[in-house]
Chains A and B, each alone.
Chain A
Amino acid sequence: MTRDKAFAELKRILVPLDASEHSLEVLKAAVELAAAQGAELEGLFVEDADLFRLCEFPMAREVSFWGVSGRSMERSETERQLRIVARRLQRALEDMSRGHNVPCKFRVTRGGVPREVLDASKEADLTIMGRIGWSRLCGQRMGSTTQAIVRQGRGLVLIMDKEARFQPPLQVLFTGSRLSEATLLLALELSRKKGFSLVILMAAHAQENRKDMQDRVQEIVSGQGAQAGVHLLRELNPQGIRKAVAAHGTGPLFLPCEDPHLHGESLQQLINSLNNPVFLVRDR
């Protein structure tokens, strides 16, 4: 992947929204990133098909957090309420985008939420997900939709917390693979645009490889006219990565997701253990 193919290709940024406080905070970050990239922002709200299915059950009742007693669920009322939520989200998206001169569009689909988001993310250059939405109430570290994206998603995905902020230094994992080179280019570009310093977490398992990797990193970094610090990883596993990341603060972390450790359950655990915004870079 060349530099041109990295962030230069980020023309469409997808932000799935669920009206939670977390999701609106993520929207702010997405708007800023889209403004920096000159990308178009697409808001996606999925009307959960499970809710409509539930409405078919006569005994189904909706319990409000602040209401005195529950009320029966009716399809028409649920649809109405979802439309209201969608309108509110659309307005929030448009207001924020207008403030940063970011072109935007808003889409509402209906179906299983993870499926719909996964499908939509295939068409986006970058999908920005909040780490957790409503599931936070249930004590989870990562919401079900984000879990699905982490496990099954392709392309470029950014996972971030409500409190997470874009702040230096950027960190990028470099394994020497083709994908990690593309990831490094991506990180270099964002570093240049934001004026942030960059730390390269270099995973050199064997002593003999280290020199080659260092040369390659040097070549890529100087090729971009940039500078970067290098942190050598002793072992390429979630625990090692977490320790290294923690040593450099809570700036964004770029992960090329090709190593066996950076897939599925272990990737999810790694993300859960970090407070940093995490860019997951994967082949499409």
Chain B
Amino acid sequence: MSIIMLPAGPAVSGLRLSGYFTAESFTGVLSGCRIPEYPGEALIIKLKPAADFNFMQVLNRGVFMDHRKLSPAELYQGCDVLQLSFETTDELQALHDLSQGVHQPRAVQALKFGVGIRQHGYNIFALGPSGMGKHTFARQYLSRKLEDYPYPADWCYVNNFETPGRPRLLHLPRAWGNSLAQDMEKIIQEVPNALKGAFESEEYQNRVQAIQQEFKDYQQGVFEDLQEKARQRNLSLLKTPSGLSFAPVQNGEIMSPEEFQKLDEDRRKQLEKDMEEMQKESERMFQRFPAWQRDMRQKLEELNHEVAQYALGPMINEIREKYQHNPDVSSFLDAVQEDIIKNVQTILEGDKHQAQEQKQQHPTAMGQSGGREQIMRKYRVNVLVDNSRTQGAPVIYEDNPTYANLVGRVEHQSMMGALITDFNLVKQGALHRANGGALILDAYKVLTNPGAWDGLKRALISQQIKIESLAEMFSLISTISLEPEPVPMDIKVILVGSPLIYYLLNEFDPEFSKLFKVAADFDTRMDWDGEHQELFVRFMAGVAQQEKLKPFHKTGVSRLLEHSARKVQDQKKLSTHIQGLTDLMREADYWAGENGRENVVEADVEQAINASVFRSDLMREHIQEAIQRDIMLIDTQGWQTGQINGLSVMGLGDFMFGRPHRITSRIRLGKGEVIDIEREAKLSGPIHSKGVLILSGFLGARYAPDRPLSLSASLVFEQSYSGIEGDSASSAELFCLLSAISGVPINQALAVTGSVNQHGRIQAIGGVNEKIEGFFDICRERGLNRRQGVLIPESNTAHLMLRRDVVQAVETGEFNIYPVSSVDQGMEILTGLPAGEPDENGEYPGDSINGLVQKRLRELSDKRMQFASGREQGGES
């Protein structure tokens, strides 16, 4: 039994003292144990040291070592409210258009370049995480940039009278499309009446009858002539079922064969000859019928042409004059006039059919009046793109980029059980609407809609918008469809997507890099300096105005700025995640309303942040509860050999939280391998495995450069049932391993995060704030005792934007944060022993951590050599 009294002194750290004397290096405290609460306080303790532990030696060397702790000011970059020169955001000049800002210089330059260069293939891919406001940014920038561009043309489809399956394309100056469509509608309304008037006129009927009578007279003349000739030859003209014939007559009656036989031979022969001649004569005459009929039809057509032209001429000419400078319209009008004339009878009969249908109240399957309506459809103008209201070049965002929504489609209508279509059913796509301007698309949606990506690429490569049905392309349906003339395309396409999609496309789609040569990379953060802060605050004012939120008081703005810095985990940066900011502002506004405030103040923002965390942190709560109830074993006090508190971060959507893990290590004689149990169980990712493999390199190089590393060490994350990735626990694993090798216990009131390299340098990791807070929450629940804390990489200090309760705890000395840059430094804090410096022979002091590790490794090496030598000797004997 020993009674130890430690002298008071300025360098005594309560944490190290208390931790040290409660470690398993002792078999137990006998009496009088009192842990010092502040530096300088004397410790009187009665305890029984472990048999092999030289406790006085340790005390003399290590316990008085000190390490820097971070001050509260280093834990959080606050915004000085006094520097904000406004009371509420209402006083600020609101900024709605982010594209004018300076926070995305790279993206702005890329967009400017991409839009400015007119050559083929310089389309833009705006890449960045979701919620960055890339769509809005791109749209605002492009709208501003393209408003001075020339107005795009109107595009229309009209019937192709020669090949109805290939509708013709009309390219018209802006606003002409609708005008022409209206003019044609007027014609459609007026033509039937005009034709009816002309073709039902007495003059027309008389002329038709005259032409028909001419043919009838001719026909009648032929028959009369034949009949007369037959009569002169004593023959009668008989009508047969499909023509006529000639029969010999006697006494006005057809002669019977018997009577014929009774005639003398000359008479018979004469009659036979006469019959033959008459038949030939008939044939000769009848052969002229078709020519006469053709002639009659030709005359009727000429008459119809003349009358229709007379009826249509003034109407068509009026339109023709209006569009005289456009040869396409002129040629279309010629075709319409020609077709109407060709179909005069059909149009007039269609009118009758329509009347009948109305009388019978028998609508067609298309739900339209069948007769005239159907006939006149082909004279309509299908205005595919009407740019009459467009200001500048169009900037279109298609939020549902299916194949059909991109390149357009040909719709069908059901008629009498069949699917039919015509040029009127050709529908525009986003590419048509954006032609002459820019089209913004979500890359993920384009890629996940069947055929959309291929359709877009085809259009960009060919510089034409060609409407083809996807279903027909894959032979899913078989029906009559159209092949509309392709529309020449001049579009700047802006794909918006995540970096992953960009790099995947770049890697695996050979056409991508040819078509999207410009990458607009959106930064997730910007510098937190005066210029950017002003911009950001004005943008907040813009959001408040646009979303009709309450004005934000400067304290609220200040809290938003701080939260933004926390989001990017950097004291010198602000997050550019627009959606997150907007959501938080909306929620803060809600809470301000709930709290009955006119302006949104800091407390409302804080409440919004806390409420948001509360809504998301169910799993964190469950984990913490499990730790509190010792279901998940985490020590926050005491000393343990080969055991350490590592820290990890879990991400649940937007919400991240940290939690401690117990990492343990065991060693035995072996071949120098460090076994990562997570990796063996296939529960670790490659980066984690890499981190563990580095440990072997560090151990071998530092402690056994000229000897075989003769241990077998195992490392494990206790109570871990899912995958682990990342190397942020590699320093903790190394500390744990060194503790297991040296037999020196580790202070369990501390937790560790940080990666380590082969030279023993501690490197920065991510999620440092969440990790610290995760361990802090556990300690607070169990009661803060001034000795608890976290070791973080020194290079992570600039990333600290800790919660206020953590900062306060540090301020009052209840919690500690140690910046660590090397393994030695970490081990000293964790064990209270000096790390030790090697002498010129590479030997570490025997009572230092490194010395103990070196010693232990040598022992293992010796044992292994002895073991090997014994085996060899045994082999020889």
Which residues of A are at the interface with B, using a C-beta cutoff of 8 A? 48, 50-51, 53-54, 56-57, 59-70, 73, 78, 81-82, 84-85, 134, 136-139
> Known: A54-B247, A57-B260, A60-B275. Is A139-B224 also a contact (CB below 8 A)?
yes
Separation of A84 and B241 alpha carbons in the complex (Å)? 9
Contacting chain A: which of B282-290, B424-432, B621-629, B820-828?
Answer: B282-290
Chain B residue numbers with a CB within 8 Å of A138 are 220, 223-224, 227, 237
Smallest Cβ distance from B241 to chain A, in angstroms?
A: 4
B206 at the A interface (CB under 8 A): no
Separation of A157 and B568 alpha carbons in the complex (Å)? 109
> Known: A54-B245, A137-B223, A138-B227. Is A64-B286 also a contact (CB below 8 A)?
yes
B272 at the A interface (CB under 8 A): yes
B215-231 to A contact mask, C-beta < 8 Å, 1/0: 00001110110010000
Smallest Cβ distance from A59 to chain B, in angstroms?
A: 5
- Contact status B247-A62, CB under 8 Å: no
B257 at the A interface (CB under 8 A): yes
Contacting residues of chain B (238-270) with chain A, CB-CB under 8 angstroms = 238-248, 254-257, 260
Smallest Cβ distance from A136 to chain B, in angstroms?
A: 8
Q: Pick the contact of B257: A56, A61, A62, A67 (CB < 8 A).
A: A56
B388 at the A interface (CB under 8 A): no
Chain B residue numbers with a CB within 8 Å of A84 are 241
B276 at the A interface (CB under 8 A): yes
Chain A residue numbers with a CB within 8 Å of B272 are 59
Which residues of B are at the interface with A, using a C-beta cutoff of 8 A? 219-221, 223-224, 227, 236-248, 254-257, 260, 272, 275-276, 279, 282-283, 286-287, 289-290
Q: Pick the contact of B240: A51, A57, A136, A139 (CB < 8 A).
A: A51
Q: Pick the contact of B247: A60, A63, A70, A136 (CB < 8 A).
A: A60
> Known: A63-B286, A65-B289, A66-B289. Is A57-B241 also a contact (CB below 8 A)?
no
Separation of A52 and B241 alpha carbons in the complex (Å)? 12
Separation of A139 and B363 alpha carbons in the complex (Å)? 46
Please give me the residue from chain B that is nearest to A133 by CB atom: B239
Please give me the residue from chain B that is nearest to A50 by CB atom: B254
Q: Pick the contact of A54: B223, B238, B283, B287 (CB < 8 A).
A: B238
Q: Pick the contact of A63: B221, B245, B257, B290 (CB < 8 A).
A: B245
- Contact status A53-B256, CB under 8 Å: yes
- Contact status A63-B220, CB under 8 Å: no
Separation of A250 and B478 alpha carbons in the complex (Å)? 57
Smallest Cβ distance from B741 to chain A, in angstroms?
A: 110
- Contact status B242-A64, CB under 8 Å: yes
20 A–B contacts from the bound complex (CB under 8 Å): A48-B238, A50-B247, A50-B254, A54-B245, A57-B247, A61-B276, A62-B245, A63-B279, A64-B243, A64-B286, A65-B243, A65-B286, A69-B283, A70-B282, A73-B240, A81-B242, A138-B223, A138-B227, A139-B220, A139-B221
Chain A residue numbers with a CB within 8 Å of B240 are 51, 62, 73, 78, 81
The 5 closest A-B pairs by CB, nearest first: A81-B241, A64-B243, A56-B257, A134-B239, A50-B254
Chain B residue numbers with a CB within 8 Å of A62 are 240, 242-245
Smallest Cβ distance from A188 to chain B, in angstroms?
A: 33
Looking at A51, A82, A85, the one whose CB has the most chain B CB atoms below 10 A away is: A51
Chain B residue numbers with a CB within 8 Å of A51 are 238, 240, 245
- Contact status A70-B238, CB under 8 Å: no
Majority-rule SS of A interface residues: mixed
Smallest Cβ distance from A192 to chain B, in angstroms?
A: 28
Separation of A251 and B758 alpha carbons in the complex (Å)? 121
- Contact status B245-A73, CB under 8 Å: yes
How many A-B residue pairs lie within 8 Å, measured between CB atoms?
92
Chain A residue numbers with a CB within 8 Å of B224 are 138-139
Q: Pick the contact of B283: A48, A60, A63, A82 (CB < 8 A).
A: A63
Separation of A57 and B221 alpha carbons in the complex (Å)? 28
Separation of A5 and B681 alpha carbons in the complex (Å)? 116
Q: Pick the contact of A78: B219, B241, B248, B287 (CB < 8 A).
A: B241
Given contacts A50-B254, A53-B254, 10 further A-B contacts (CB under 8 A): A54-B238, A54-B245, A56-B257, A57-B248, A61-B279, A63-B279, A67-B243, A70-B283, A139-B220, A139-B221
Smallest Cβ distance from A78 to chain B, in angstroms?
A: 7
- Contact status A137-B245, CB under 8 Å: no
> Known: A53-B257, A137-B223. Is A63-B241 also a contact (CB below 8 A)?
no
Chain B residue numbers with a CB within 8 Å of A63 are 243-245, 279, 282-283, 286
Looking at B223, B240, B254, B290, the one whose CB has the most chain A CB atoms below 10 A away is: B240
> Known: A65-B286, A69-B283, A134-B239. Is A57-B276 also a contact (CB below 8 A)?
no
Separation of A64 and B290 alpha carbons in the complex (Å)? 13
Separation of A57 and B219 alpha carbons in the complex (Å)? 28
Chain A residue numbers with a CB within 8 Å of B276 are 59, 61
Chain B residue numbers with a CB within 8 Å of A57 are 247-248, 257, 260, 275
Chain B residue numbers with a CB within 8 Å of A136 are 220
Chain A residue numbers with a CB within 8 Å of B219 are 137
Separation of A48 and B286 alpha carbons in the complex (Å)? 23
Separation of A136 and B239 alpha carbons in the complex (Å)? 11
Chain B residue numbers with a CB within 8 Å of A82 are 241
Please give me the residue from chain A that is nearest to B259 by CB atom: A53
Separation of A56 and B289 alpha carbons in the complex (Å)? 30
Chain A residue numbers with a CB within 8 Å of B239 are 48, 134
- Contact status B241-A85, CB under 8 Å: yes
Chain B residue numbers with a CB within 8 Å of A137 are 219-220, 223
Looking at A51, A57, A78, the one whose CB has the most chain B CB atoms below 10 A away is: A57
Separation of A202 and B289 alpha carbons in the complex (Å)? 49
Please give me the residue from chain A that is nearest to B240 by CB atom: A62
Chain B residue numbers with a CB within 8 Å of A59 are 272, 275-276
Please give me the residue from chain B that is nearest to A69 by CB atom: B283
- Contact status A50-B237, CB under 8 Å: no
Separation of A7 and B236 alpha carbons in the complex (Å)? 40
Please give me the residue from chain A that is nearest to B224 by CB atom: A139
Separation of A57 and B240 alpha carbons in the complex (Å)? 15
Chain B residue numbers with a CB within 8 Å of A48 are 238-239
Separation of A215 and B47 alpha carbons in the complex (Å)? 160
Chain B residue numbers with a CB within 8 Å of A66 are 286, 289-290
- Contact status B248-A70, CB under 8 Å: no
Separation of A254 and B15 alpha carbons in the complex (Å)? 137
Separation of A232 and B247 alpha carbons in the complex (Å)? 49
- Contact status B242-A70, CB under 8 Å: no
Chain A residue numbers with a CB within 8 Å of B223 are 137-139
Chain B residue numbers with a CB within 8 Å of A50 are 236, 238, 247, 254
- Contact status B256-A60, CB under 8 Å: no
Chain B residue numbers with a CB within 8 Å of A56 are 256-257
Separation of A54 and B236 alpha carbons in the complex (Å)? 11
Smallest Cβ distance from B203 to chain A, in angstroms?
A: 21
- Contact status A61-B238, CB under 8 Å: no
